[in-house]
Each structure stands twice: as structure tokens, then as C-alpha cells.
Structure 1
Amino acid sequence: MTDSNSNSRYIRWLTYLMFMMFAMTSDSVGEIIKEVKVAFSVTNAQASLMHSLPMLGIALSGLFLGFLADKFGRKNTIILGLAVFGVACYSFMVANDFVLIVSLMTLSGIAVGIFKTGALALIGDISSSTKQHTATMNGAEAFFGVGAIIGPLIVAYLIHTGVAWQWLYVIAGGVCTLLITIALFVKYPSYKQSHADEAEKVSLMQSLKLLKNPYALGFSLGAFLYVAAESAIYVWMPSYLVCDATSVKATYDCYAEGSAQMLAIYSVTAFFVLRALGRFVGIWMMSHFNWALVLMLFSGAIVVCFAGGLMGGKQVALYLFPLTGIFMSVIYPTFNSKGISCFPKHQHGSVAGVILFFTAAGAAAGPFIMGLVSDANGGDAKYGFMVATVFAAILFVGLLLNFIFNPTQQRLEEIEASEYGAN
């Protein structure tokens, strides 16, 4: 019993660190784009490929390779994904060409799709209940939030000290090597098949059939709407908060001296800090409260913050937009957890891949649609946030209906009894 608990603890920390490592690189892309545009004289559209192509890689990898965790095991899939990610990271040491940089970022996205679906499936194996599954998922996303904070800080420090930003990926490669070593020596739990021939049924076609399943599709659409709304904060909030959008240099002199100007400059960091803190609190919250009620209330608060920030202007948005980090904190990990928990453990990898596909699609499509709408209205980021508010409002309506009708209650109770009852 002690050895089992010890292994579960090691595996849980291994999962947390994988999420943190991924966020260190993915959420630093904004800082990196600024350097790459100058170094290689690329356009905004070309530079945006550094964000959209890795997201596409994650999306396609999650959808078409998510079944690997169910067919070949969590450990093998995680080590494969980490190995590919590590090779991509170390290759940045010789990446002095824009095409090669974008190619390596895309490869790292594909690798993330592989090891993340394996990790998400593994969370089900080490959880003793669907409630603990949700708490662990919030923990993983909390560490993702930590990585989202320290990654950009590392890039900023490297650039400030005259060191190439590529060393961020070398650092991530070192973390990846450590994680592979841990994964090789830690004993993973074996997940039980419902039938003797279930392993043979796991395939790409079976994974794609999940797109028709109402539980998988419902939570996936929720993830798409959430990520599309969330991306407005870290992609478009800086553009909305600047005092003069036509100026070449960002100015914040329209805010009061001191703390207000400082908050405007570091608004995205403030958002990420609040989101990370909220996810740590979410570990406790999701173990003690009705998840459907929490998500309904928090999604409504996001709509209020977005609408208030638009109606009140920059002076109000300065506080309300970063504040959404608290309310956004528990939504995505809970979508992931409950969506995966609606299925038996031998399908967790495939389901995680489907949800990951919609997640990455939302991250890629949301900012793009907002940018198009803003450009069509004179380039004002306010119009992009109007689109984000619509996404958030649709999400709220869906979660309100979910709370009222509770369509997953019976399904989750069945899975609780069949998959976790013996633990």
C-alpha cells in the first residue's frame, strides 16, 4: 500500500512538472515573437505562425495520436512524447533560421499532444474517484499556470542579459531529460480493460468516433469556447489597454501615476498569477463544492468582467480584465476532468486527445477571429473583446443549462462505480 501511494505521488508530481515545462515554452511565444520579428525581418502574419502552427500540431496530434496512450500504455506514450519534445528543444541551439524555428516549434507542439494525452489518461489511473480526478487536474493546470509565469520571465531575463532566447528551450530540454529519467524508473499503475478484447478495439477510427459522443463533444465545445475567450486576455488585452493604439511605442500615461500604470504594463502577468493562484484553490474547491454550480457562477462572472471592462472603458478594464484569471482558473481543468471521467479508463487517452484538439483549435481560431473583427473596425481591440464576450456568454448559457439539467450526473455515477469503486 505504501509503495503504491509513493508511486502515485511521484507520478502526480511528474505530471505536474510536465504541464509546467510545456507552459514555460508555449506561453513565452509573445516575448519570443518580438525578438524574431526584428532578427529575421518577418511580418506580423509570418510571426503569428510561431503560435498558430504549434497549436495546430497539438490539435492534430491530440485528435489523431491520442489513442496511443490507450493502445500502447501511458508510460510508453509519455516517454515517446517527452523524447520528441526534448529533441526539438535541444535543436534550438542551432536554430538560426526562421523556417527552422517555426518547424521546431511545430514539432514540439506535436510532441506535446502525445505526452499530454498520455499524462491526462494517467491522471485517471492514479485517481480513486472522479472528484479526486478533478482535484488532480486542477493541480496539473495550476502548475501550468506557474510555467506560464516563469517562462516569459526567463525569456525577459535572457534578453536583458544579452543571452539568446533559444536558451529557454535548452532549459526546457534539461527539464524534459529529467522527466524522462523519472518516468523510466517510476512504476506506473496498470489500467484494467473492461473486456479482454478492448485493447484490440483501440484505434484511430475508434478515437474519431468519439466526436459523435455527446459527452465528449459537449465538454470539447465547452473547452473551445473557454479557450477562445481566455485567449483574448493574453493576446488582445495589452492592445486594448494602451492609451494610444496608433503610437509606435506603447504608452500608459492615461492612467494615474504609480500602481495603475504598473498594472497596465504587467496586466498579463497579473492575469496569469491570479489564474495560477485560483487553480491551487480549485484543488480544494472542487473537492468540496458542486462543480456544475461553481462553473456556472464563475463563467457568469467572466461575462460580467468582460462587459464591465468594455462599457467602463480602459480605466475599468484595467482591473476587471486581469481579475478574470480567478474565475477562469477552474473552468478548463474541470472540463478536462469531467469530460474524461465520463468514459472508462481504457478510453481516457482518446478522449483527452479529442478535448485537446478542440482546446488548441480554440486557442488558434479565437485570437484570429478577434483580430479580423478588430481590423474590420479600424483596428480597435475593443471589437475583438466584444467577440470574446460573445464566446463567454455562450459558454455561460451552456453551463447554466448544465447546472439546471445536470446531464452528466448519471453517467459520472456509473463510471464512479465501475471504474473507481474497487480502488
Structure 2
Amino acid sequence: MINQAQHAASRRRIIFALFLLYFVFAILLNSVGTVILQVIKTYGVSKSAASVLEAFKDIPISIVSFCVASFLPRLGYKYAMLTGMAIVTVSTAAMPLLPGFLMTKLLFLSVGVAFALIKVSVYATIGLISADRKQHASLMNTLEGFFMVGVLSGYWIFGNFIDANDPASPVWLQVYWLLAGLCAVTFLLVATTSFTEFEAKLSVSHSSLLTDFADMLKLMARPLVCVYIISAFLYVLLEQGIGTWLPTFNNEILKMPVDMSVQATSIFAACLAIGRLGAGAVMRKLNWYLVLNICLISMAALVLLTLPLTHNIVANPDLRWSNAPLAAFIFPLIGLFMAPIYPGINSVMLSSLPTNQHAAMTGLLVLFSALGGTSGSMITGYVFGAMNGQTAFYLSLLPLSIILLTLFFFKRAIERVD
């Protein structure tokens, strides 16, 4: 009885540590849209130049996750988490000390490297502490929901450090002292938490590093994995394209002040958080495929109904929340329907594999998610600059349509495995 109580307490502490890790990285990763807006204002860089910040974040995620995912069970998930937190603690503290566009690039590069270590470790740990597929899906959705709570918090944290009277002021860099402190606290929590990794280490104890890496590559030859990777890639392309450029869309298309533009984007993050936290309960009662198809069709309908409201908006010097454009409140609701898709397909995929393959599968997921994020941000930024924000967001209908198709093949592949 005592052992059961100790095991339950240990599991709760591990889950809390995982949630705090994701909360911190939610703020850092999704600050890129706000930071793009601020470096344009503060350092005078162009939109196309600023859009590379997404690549500085996502390309390191891709490379590191691909190279080290199969190796992490040997290294230890806890050690990987501590390494990631140490990297971001140093880089966030450096932001206000060495202000400049170069340091901003280095920050997102370090965040990308660290997150590759964190995400593979966190996803693999979920597999180790989940008793069955339902528990795995519930914990995955709650974790991703808490991630969006961090995203939501980040918009308001950054918004409070921006000088509304002088958007070009570098005072917003002071937010990184707060973030460095949060990173340090998270590092200490992980360092003092005991992680059970025996099962993961046992699975690689009789194989070589080369064999582990080859096994990860072999996963890509499976039709199920190929369809899953395409679905995940397109989803992240879609989410990052909207999330990264929504602050700039609010500022330039809806004519909102910079601080309000950033804070209005928190509606999108709040909807993602609510959608993901509620998705676990919904998907326990309804088939995942039905839920995700309803979500995709609802997203397309919202795009078609809302974007026409964003044309011919005139700047209002007395703009307040009470008289802000209606589209600023309606379009971010797309997050409610977008929310269940990513954790839904991830949980279905990982639950179909043995736990010793979760780290390798997550490595592939992180790789293609990062590539999708970079592609989405850069494509949206290019269209935004070359044409306009409405056209950039209308393009979201293309990946939406393709995801509808890939989910059909994903469902068929899962049924064959089961």
C-alpha cells in the first residue's frame, strides 16, 4: 500500500515536471510571432528577414531530433531535459545583455536545440508512465492543452513589456529576465525529480547505436508512419503559419496597436488550450476520426466566413477592446477546432507502437513538425509581404483539404495495425 502511494506520488511529480517543461517552451517557442513584430519595429529589419527567425528555431529542432532521438534512451531522458533547460536558461539571460537581431537569431537557435531534446524526452516519458491507450491519450491531450496555456500566458507576458507609446523601444527585452528565472526554477524541479527509465534503457541495452538509428529510419518505410508524418507536417505548417503571423495581421490588416495586436493573439492560444484540454473528454466518447473531420470542416468554414470581414478597415486612433474589429475576436476561434488534431494523431500513432519505439517515432515527429513550422511561417510571410494578409490566410484552405484526405488513409492504416 505504501509502495502504491509512493508510486502515485512519484508519477504526479513527474507529470508536474513535464507540464512545467512544456509551459516554459510554449512561451519561448511561440513568442516568435511577437518577436518578429518587435524586431521589425526595434531593429528595422524587413518582414522577409524577420521571418527567418522561425527557421532558426525549427531547423535546429529538425537536425537535433533526427540525430539524437534514437540515442536518448541511452543518454537518459532526465539528463536530456536538464541539458535543454541549461541551454535556454543561458540564452534567455543573454537577450537583454546582448541586444540585437543576431542575438535574437541565436536565442531561437538555442531554443530549437533544447526543445528537440525536451520533446523527445517528454513524449517518451509519457509512454513509460501510461498504463494503456486511453490513459496515454488523456495525458497527451492534457499536456498539449497545458502547452497552449503557456502560449496564452506568453502573449500577455510579452504584451505587458511592450511600450505602447513607443513600440520601437527595446524595453520589451526585459521580459527575458523573467523567462530566465522561470527556466532556472524548472531546471531545479527536473533535477530533484526521480524519473523511472529502466524500461527504456533495457530496450537498448543489447543493441548498438547504429542499429538504433537504422531502426528509426526503418519506421519511415511503414505506410502508416508515412501517412502520419504527412498529416503532422501539414498540421504544423497550418498552425504556425497562422499563429506566427497573427500579431502582424492584427497590426497591419485590422489596424490595431502593437500591444493590442499581441494580446488579441492570445484569443487564438486560449482557444487552442480550451480545445485541447476538452479534447480528451470528447475523444473518450467519440471516434477520433469523426472528431478530427468535424474540426477540419469547421476550420474551413470559419476561414471563409471571417476573412471577408477584414477588408477596408480604417485605422482608429481611439481604438479600444470595446470597439475593436469583429474579426479580431472571431478569426482566432479557429483554434478551438484546430486544437484536437495534433495531439489526436500523435496519441493514435504512438499508442499503436511498443514503448521502446516511442523515442524514435517522436524524433521523426519532431523533425517533420519542425520542417512544417518553418515552411508555414515562411510561406505565409512571403505571401503576406508580396500580396496581403487576407490572401496569406486564405491559403490555409489548401493544407486543410490535404489533411482531410491524409486522415482517411491514416485511419485505414491504423485499422490494419489494430
TM-score (norm 1): 0.83
Report how far residue 120 of structure 1 moved. 0.9
Report how far residue 181 of structure 1 moved. 2.1
| Equivalent in the alignment of 1:364 | 374
Q: Secondary structure at the match of 1:395?
A: helix
Alignment of 1:161-310 (within 5 A): 164-189=171-196, 190-191=198-199, 193=202, 197-198=206-207, 203-237=212-246, 245=253, 251=255, 267-310=264-307
Alignment of 1:273-422 (within 5 A): 273-310=270-307, 320-374=330-384, 379-403=387-411, 405=412, 407-409=413-415, 411=417, 413=418
Report how far residue 186 of structure 1 moved. 2.0
Q: Which amino acid aligns with 1:384?
A: A
Q: Secondary structure at the match of 2:306?
A: helix
Cα separation, partners in 2 of 1:130 and 1:39, compared to 1, 3 Å: same
- Distance of 2:130 and 2:105 partners within structure 1: 37
Name structure 1 gaps, 5 residues minimum.
254-261, 414-423
- Distance of 1:333 and 1:296 partners within structure 2: 14
| Equivalent in the alignment of 2:143 | 140
Alignment of 1:21-36 (within 5 A): 21-36=24-39
- Distance of 2:8 and 2:129 partners within structure 1: 9
| Equivalent in the alignment of 2:126 | 123
Report how far residue 392 of structure 1 moved. 0.6
Q: Is the 8 A contact 2:155 2:263 kept in 1?
A: no
Report how far residue 398 of structure 1 moved. 2.2
Name structure 2 gaps, 5 residues minimum.
312-324
Q: Which amino acid aligns with 1:286?
A: M
TM-score (norm 2): 0.84
- Distance of 2:36 and 2:79 partners within structure 1: 34
- Distance of 1:134 and 1:349 partners within structure 2: 17
Deviation by residue 1:387-410 (Cα, 9 ceiling, x = unmatched): 21010111122224445x3x2135
Q: After the TM superposition, which parts of structure 1 deviate over 6 Å for at least 4 consecutive aligned residues?
A: 262-265
- Distance of 1:164 and 1:292 partners within structure 2: 47
Fraction of identical pairs, as percent: 25
Report how far residue 157 of structure 1 moved. 1.4
Q: Is the 8 A contact 2:36 2:53 kept in 1?
A: yes
Alignment of 1:55-74 (within 5 A): 55-74=58-77
Deviation by residue 1:357-376 (Cα, 9 ceiling, x = unmatched): 11111111013223444555
| Equivalent in the alignment of 2:322 | none
| Equivalent in the alignment of 1:97 | 100
Q: Is the 8 A contact 1:58 1:109 kept in 2?
A: yes
Cα separation, partners in 2 of 1:235 and 1:75, compared to 1, 3 Å: closer
- Distance of 1:330 and 1:302 partners within structure 2: 12
Q: Which moved more, 1:186-195 or 1:55-64?
A: 186-195
Q: Is the 8 A contact 1:123 1:133 kept in 2?
A: yes
Q: Secondary structure at the match of 1:212?
A: coil
Cα separation, partners in 2 of 1:337 and 1:169, compared to 1, 3 Å: farther
| Equivalent in the alignment of 2:116 | 113
Q: Which amino acid aligns with 1:392?
A: L
Q: Which amino acid aligns with 1:357?
A: L
Cα separation, partners in 2 of 1:27 and 1:265, compared to 1, 3 Å: closer
- Distance of 1:160 and 1:203 partners within structure 2: 51
Report how far residue 327 of structure 1 moved. 0.8
- Distance of 1:6 and 1:287 partners within structure 2: 25
- Distance of 2:246 and 2:187 partners within structure 1: 37
- Distance of 1:224 and 1:143 partners within structure 2: 22
Q: What is the RMSD computed on CA atoms of the aligned residues?
A: 2.9
Deviation by residue 1:2-55 (Cα, 9 ceiling, x = unmatched): 111111111111111111100111222232233333433323233222222112
Q: Which amino acid aligns with 1:339?
A: M
Count of aligned positions = 395
Cα separation, partners in 2 of 1:264 and 1:150, compared to 1, 3 Å: closer
Q: Is the 8 A contact 1:308 1:317 kept in 2?
A: no
- Distance of 2:155 and 2:326 partners within structure 1: 26
Q: Which moved more, 1:325-334 or 1:205-214?
A: 205-214
